[in-house]
Structure 1
Amino acid sequence: MYKNNIKIISLLFFCAIYSACKIPQLAHRNENRIVPKNFGNTADTSSIKLMPWRSFFTDQKLVDLIDTALKNNQDLNVTLQDIEIAKNDIRARKGDLLPTVGYIVSATVEKVGRFTSQGAGDASADITPGNGVPSLLPDYNFGLQANWEVDVWHKLRNAKQAAVTRYLSSVAGKNFVVTNLVAELANNYYELLAEDNQLEIVKQNIRLQSNALELMKIQMQATRVTALAVKQFEAQVLGSKSLQFDILQNITETENKINFLLGRFPQHIARDKDAFSVLLPAVVQTGIPAQLLSNRPDIMQAEYDLAASKLDVKVARTAFYPSLNISAGIGYQAFNPKYLIRTPESLLYTLAGDLAGPLINRNAIKADYLTANAKQLQAVFNYERTVLNGYIEVANQVSNISNLQKSYDLKSQQVTALTQSIEISNDLFKSSRADYFEVLMAQRDALQSKLDLIDTKKAQLNAVVSIYQALGGGWN
């Protein structure tokens, strides 16, 4: 009889194992790590050696602002808490690998029915009239209990490793936030310097236009020009004064953007207005595109997420297999406190092991398994998209820096020519060889060219910051 029972149990066990092995097939896609050998038409294959941001940015006031932002920025502080959450998840997964031990202390009073199965089965009770189980039956108990799931299929270890990988992903995510924060702060700082210089140019131009207006008034009194010329020059002065207040509003808004990144209420932003004219775009070596994988935090984060999703699939797969649990307990139990610690009469202990696994109706397990696989495929696609986006961002900025330098050189020549044209038009007007409209257009074109030149210089600085950011700089 004993051997037959063993055979039946063994047969049921192997049937369960066989059914668990029939796991749904999954769709697979190998992540694409191949990127072009260079960025666009550039032949630069030098190694990427990105400077820390303290060395990359030479303006000390900008460095001080970045220092403040890294301490007070709310988005960054939220991300730091994500890292703490990931740490706690690792701690929880480690705990799952170990046995759990707890204690129990209980005291109960039970009223047993006189003619119930429990009362009738009590050997010390007689259910004849006048006798029976005591109406109030106390029970006192204390002891220790332990449970342990044996990690036969590495489910718990894979879950712990997935938690570790997600912790690394959260660290890379924090680095990505730092990179974006540094770049956004630098771009707004350069925007502020550009607006300061534009304001100064507009003020200079207002003085120049005001002098021209006074000249037109004198010329009108001498009947050399009409009131039309005076009114047009007056309108030009008023337009420049209006532009001055537009720029002042832009300065206020840009300062408050920076204050928001610094995590503080609106206040003046310390800066060197004269530094803008001497700032030179830093030289950034782009290097081999494949090296992006070891520099950009968002690509590192996507890679960690992909690794974690693969481990999640392994964890979900183990749900098809039987799990082995071991439980044990030891303690004392008695109906009277004076007998509670009497040994061995009141001593009790248990030791049990159970093997349990799914056999019929495994739809929920299949759904979880297929969902884990779908999330894995999502992680693959996200990884490929992040690599592609990183390559395109760098390629765009490499081209942008080259084109902006050519544009800046030409616009510098344009400013020089138009500035000279103002003097020439004034001289020609005084000698009656040019009319007032030519003087007016020369001043207007010169002002616009100077504002455009500042915009181009700002775009150059922003492009350098952008390629530094696109190559993964700013977080180290």
Structure 2
Amino acid sequence: MRRTVSCRGAARVAAAALLCAVSACDLAPDYQPPHYVLPDSYTGTAPFTVARPGEADAHAAWWTGFGDPTLDRLETLATANNPSLQAIAEQYTQARDLAAEARADLFPQFSAGGTTSESKRSAGRPFPGTSNGGNIAALNQIQASASWEPDFWSRIRNQTRTQKRLAQASAADLASARLSLQSELAQDYIALRGVETEMAVYRQSIQFYENAVRITTLRLQGLIASGLDVARAQSQLSAAQALLTDAEANRGILVHAIAVLVGADPITFQLPTGSVDDLRVAAVPAQVPSALLQRRPDIAAAERRMAAANSAIGISRAAFYPDISISALGGFQDTGFSLASLPNSIWSIGASAVLPLFEGGLRRAELQRAWSQYAQQRDQYRATILQAFREVQDGLLQSTQLATETRQQQNAVQAAEKAQDITLRLYTGGLTNYLDALVAQVTALSARIALVEVQTRQLQARVSLAAALGGGWSAASLPTEDAVLPFNPIAPLTGHDREPRPDGTGEPSAPRPGG
């Protein structure tokens, strides 16, 4: 009875091994993306509302919410012309080609070739009588060969799957870089408008201070004021002029930065002046935090890298099993040109199998490293999610608080300007000293500049919030694993495969992911 059971067990093991070989066992662990941080019922901070999957995506051109046609035009130029973004797009193209290279090992490899040669042996060679042939001989040969490695352990499939998922991560990286570029451009543009608004404030203050200098000079000439008042007024005027000069320099630097972002020459690039008041405060998008995992391209990239690391475990596991390959060669060989003759045919068929027996723990170390790399990617995925929710919460907090601070600062400006006008009139009437007027002037200028800074920060906070929410990108924009492959391996070579242009660039070899 024991012998029967053992025979049956051995038969089952043999049958399982045969079935595994025929069906190509996948040794990678079953992959399920982990769920971190966020329960399904989480609603977050207002104005977030609970939404259902399948709702329309947010508008990708989120910057249009600021209502500035110049900003809209600059964003379009940056997306199309920024060289750094184009370089990252080439990285995605290369990742797609790496996936195609890995897939190529799944197919049989065919080759054909031919040789022709004529050679002469030396008449002074040792033992010349040992050969009955002449000293001159020709050899002509044509042959074709084929080789194939059956993927019994899914090593090649997992290599292909790994590269596909890394290509998907590269596509998400491209979307992240595009969103970062758009956000940086919007931040710089808003900062530019803020500096130009400050310049307008300084010019208005300079006019007020020039009037104060005239008043103090007249009072000095009338012997009803001291030279100290004139000196104080002149010092305040010069300080405001210096601040204006500094703001003009800052404007030039920001214009140059914007020029680089849109791929233009900073020397010739120009922008019309404007004001931060011309920008509309974009509405806070009413999205759910639970949809953030599908909105952020950096989260998608981290998840795809984690999936790629999972496939790499299958590659390391397959290294413990034999590598099997099949090859065949056939052709004709002759000393003349009578190649198409059956007696002159050559052929060989063979198969090989290599099984690792002992390599000092090499494959075990590789497998352990693959598991550690997966754990590393899993932790980085979780860290990316936590950082994403932090950025969203920071953006919401800043948007709410800065809106309140703007209203408060507007009240401070009104009070400071009123005090400035009153003290100057009192000083002109001789009812107070110029020090009171000077303090009021400094307070008013500081309040007006502080208001501009708060308005600028409020607009920039909306930019940061839009970027934290993914900028309208969604996981639906990410290409599938099969879609990242750049071409069909049995399709003929076409213009789809590009060569560099004379200027060193090239047209995209494949559509790039949108969003």
Q: Does 1:341 align with 2:340?
A: yes
Q: Does 1:203 align with 2:200?
A: no
Q: Which runs of 5+ in 1 are unaligned?
A: 1-9, 18-25, 120-126
Tell me the CA shift for residue 370 of structure 1: 2.8
Q: In structure 1, how many angstroms separate the alpha carbons of the residues matched to 2:80 and 2:399? A: 31
Tell me the CA shift for residue 368 of structure 1: 2.9
Map of 1:44 onto structure 2: 48
Tell me the CA shift for residue 363 of structure 1: 3.3
Do the aligned partners of 2:155 and 2:314 also contact (CA within 8 Å) in 1?
Answer: yes
The equivalent position to 1:96 in structure 2, one of 97, 102, 105, is 105
Q: In structure 2, how many angstroms separate the alpha carbons of the residues matched to 1:141 and 1:106? A: 5
Instruction: Tell me whether 448-457 or 356-365 shows the greater mean CA deviation.
Output: 356-365
Q: Does 1:420 align with 2:418?
A: yes
1:402-448 per-residue CA deviation (whole Å, 9 max, x = no partner) reads 11111111100000001111111122223332211111111111011
Map of 1:308 onto structure 2: 308
The equivalent position to 2:91 in structure 1, one of 50, 68, 82, is 82
Map of 2:296 onto structure 1: 296
Structure 2 letter corresponding to 1:34: V
Do the aligned partners of 1:50 and 1:284 also contact (CA within 8 Å) in 2?
Answer: no
The equivalent position to 2:82 in structure 1, one of 69, 73, 76, is 73
Tell me the CA shift for residue 365 of structure 1: 2.7
Distance 1:351 1:221, change over 3 A: same
Structure 2 letter corresponding to 1:341: A
Do the aligned partners of 1:183 and 1:474 also contact (CA within 8 Å) in 2?
Answer: no
Tell me the CA shift for residue 169 of structure 1: 1.1
The RMSD of aligned alpha carbons is 2.8
1:76-100 per-residue CA deviation (whole Å, 9 max, x = no partner) reads 0011101110221122122111100
Map of 2:37 onto structure 1: 34
Map of 2:257 onto structure 1: 257
Q: In structure 2, how many angstroms separate the alpha carbons of the residues matched to 1:262 and 1:107? A: 58
Q: Does 1:319 align with 2:328?
A: no
Do the aligned partners of 1:101 and 1:145 also contact (CA within 8 Å) in 2?
Answer: yes
Instruction: Tell me whether 263-272 or 409-418 shows the greater mean CA deviation.
Output: 263-272
| Alignment TM-score, normalising by the size of structure 2 | 0.79
Map of 1:4 onto structure 2: none
Do the aligned partners of 1:103 and 1:145 also contact (CA within 8 Å) in 2?
Answer: yes
Query: Which portions of structure 1, spanning 4 or more consecutive aligned residues, are displaced by more than 4 angstroms?
Result: 28-32, 36-43, 108-114, 135-138
| SS of residue paired to 2:149 | strand
Q: How many residues align?
A: 439
| SS of residue paired to 1:50 | coil
Structure 2 letter corresponding to 1:256: H
Structure 1 letter corresponding to 2:164: V
Do the aligned partners of 1:147 and 1:325 also contact (CA within 8 Å) in 2?
Answer: yes
Tell me the CA shift for residue 139 of structure 1: 3.6
| SS of residue paired to 1:353 | strand
Distance 1:296 1:459, change over 3 A: same
Q: Which runs of 5+ in 2 are unaligned?
A: 1-9, 18-28, 474-514
| SS of residue paired to 1:224 | coil
Structure showing greater radius of gyration is 1
Q: Does 1:273 align with 2:274?
A: yes
Do the aligned partners of 1:259 and 1:265 also contact (CA within 8 Å) in 2?
Answer: yes
Map of 2:385 onto structure 1: 387
| SS of residue paired to 2:283 | coil
Structure 2 letter corresponding to 1:273: G
Map of 1:58 onto structure 2: 67
Q: In structure 2, how many angstroms separate the alpha carbons of the residues matched to 1:317 and 1:278? A: 62
Structure 2 letter corresponding to 1:75: S
Tell me the CA shift for residue 313 of structure 1: 1.4
| SS of residue paired to 1:273 | coil
| SS of residue paired to 2:194 | helix
Q: In structure 1, how many angstroms separate the alpha carbons of the residues matched to 2:33 and 2:307? A: 12
| SS of residue paired to 2:463 | helix
Q: In structure 1, how many angstroms separate the alpha carbons of the residues matched to 2:265 and 2:472? A: 25
- Select the structure that is richer in helix: 1
Map of 2:241 onto structure 1: 241
Q: In structure 1, how many angstroms separate the alpha carbons of the residues matched to 2:313 and 2:147? A: 26
Do the aligned partners of 1:111 and 1:136 also contact (CA within 8 Å) in 2?
Answer: yes
Do the aligned partners of 2:306 and 2:381 also contact (CA within 8 Å) in 1?
Answer: yes
Q: In structure 2, how many angstroms separate the alpha carbons of the residues matched to 1:130 and 1:463? A: 95
Instruction: Tell me whether 186-195 or 81-90 shows the greater mean CA deviation.
Output: 81-90
Q: In structure 1, how many angstroms separate the alpha carbons of the residues matched to 2:119 and 2:438? A: 105
Map of 1:185 onto structure 2: 185
What's the % identity of the aligned pairs? 24
| Alignment TM-score, normalising by the size of structure 1 | 0.85
